Structure 1
Amino acid sequence: MTDRPVARTRDEALVYLDLNPCECGSVETEWASGVVSVEGALVKCYEGDCEGCGAEREYLFTLPAREVMPVGWPTFGGPEPSQLLDAGEWMWLADLTAGNVPDDPEDARRALSMARSAMEEVLKFIPEGQDDVPAEAFWSVRGREVRAAEPPRFRRDRLLVVRDTYRDLAGG
């Protein structure tokens, strides 16, 4: 059986799909999802047609060992770190959403909630008793580039300050 990464929640899977565009470069795809059996194992399947070129797209993810119940929006996962996005990609997502906060108050709250949740995901990569996100938590090109640009951003104390700031700006 092929090793597939675990998608802990729908929100996490959709972020991953947005960060992995079609070969034509478009991220515009209306995804349908469901649980299917592949090689005797149940997996979560996301499929849709690229709106840019019409190509059929499909991603298969392993189901988490324990279902993660949503606790607001977005809910990316439980206490364990992501297998889909590395620490640098979560930081990139936080930077992107916090750097483009809309004027509409409700849209601004959602953007800042997304940035806060992405920062929480970065923190999950720090092992107990450590102060920094370890090098092995950066496996993507984008993630390593984000880390290389400013490694001190991945210290626990800085991550907590930024996360708490996004939380406060989002109104809780």
Structure 2
Amino acid sequence: MTIVLPAARSSAEARLYVELQPCDCGEARFAPQVEVVALADGDLATRYHGTCPSCGAEREFLMRLPAEPGPATGSSYGGFSYGGPEPSQLIDPGQWLAAADRYADLVPADSAVLDPAQLRRATAALSRAVAALDEVRKFIPADADQVPVDAFTSDTGRRLHRREPDRFRRDRLTALRDTYAGLLHGDDTSNDRVDT
């Protein structure tokens, strides 16, 4: 049985969702083919499909395309963003924060010794970390100071929230995001790695 997932707001969000879903055998690597398909109800979906490189299982993800693509918002660094102003329906705030951590970990502590190719990779990783933090903040209601507990829908998200609930406060998310954004701008005020 094929399950059709909610709409992905962008191809970047859809690709990250697929990356976050390991095969049943535990393999995280997956290089899917991508195509747009028509669903039985007439909607369009993006289909990610292929074979697990470890166990050979066929894998497939179908994500509806939004009826009307909204304007991309979020990180303005290099124009990279995961989606519009609404919170993701595919990825929960804990998964977004884990992704931001993973991208930030790819950035060497001393960028002064990077060659141009390494600097481009570090900049791309940091831009994605900033955009992922923007996504976490979209789950915080305007009248609240942290992500509500019911926003965590994945095992990864619930575990991270139970372990470190304070990381989902607006002030901490904003401070971390601003630090990463400052690094992208080359601010000298943040030479040390940030404690996430």
Normalised TM-score (structure 2): 0.79
Specify which of 65, 68, 79 is matched with residue 66 of structure 1. 68
Matched, 1:158 2:172: yes
Distance 2:144 2:19 in 1: 31
Alignment of 1:63-102 (within 5 A): 63-68=65-70, 72=78, 74-102=80-108
Aligned counterpart, 1:22: 23
The 5 Å alignment of 1:98-117 reads 98-102=104-108, 104-117=118-131
Coordinate RMSD, CA, aligned: 1.9
Q: Is 1:10 the counterpart of 2:11 in the alignment?
A: yes
Whichever residue aligns with residue 61 of structure 2, its letter is: Y
Q: Is the 8 A contact 2:33 2:48 kept in 1?
A: yes
What is the distance in 2 between the residues matched to 1:142 and 1:149?
Answer: 11
Contact 2:107/2:126 (<8 A) preserved: yes
Three-state SS of the structure 1 residue aligned to 2:47 is: strand
- For 2:33, the equivalent position in structure 1 comes to 32
Give the TM-score, by structure 1 length. 0.90
- Judge which range, 18-27 or 60-69, deviates more: 60-69
Determine what percentage of the aligned residue pairs are the same residue. 46
Q: Write the letter of the residue equivalent to 1:85.
A: I
Structure number, greater radius of gyration: 2
Does 1 or 2 have the higher relative contact order (CA < 8 Å, sep 6+)? 1
Amino acid in structure 1 at the alignment position of 2:84: G
Shift of the alpha carbon at 1:150?
A: 1.6
Aligned to 1:168: 182
Q: Is the 8 A contact 2:93 2:139 kept in 1?
A: yes
| Alignment size in residue pairs | 171
Q: Which moved more, 1:116-125 or 1:154-163?
A: 154-163
Structure 1 equivalent of residue 143 of structure 2: 129
What residue ranges of structure 1 are gaps of 5+ in the alignment?
A: none
SS in 2 for 1:165: helix
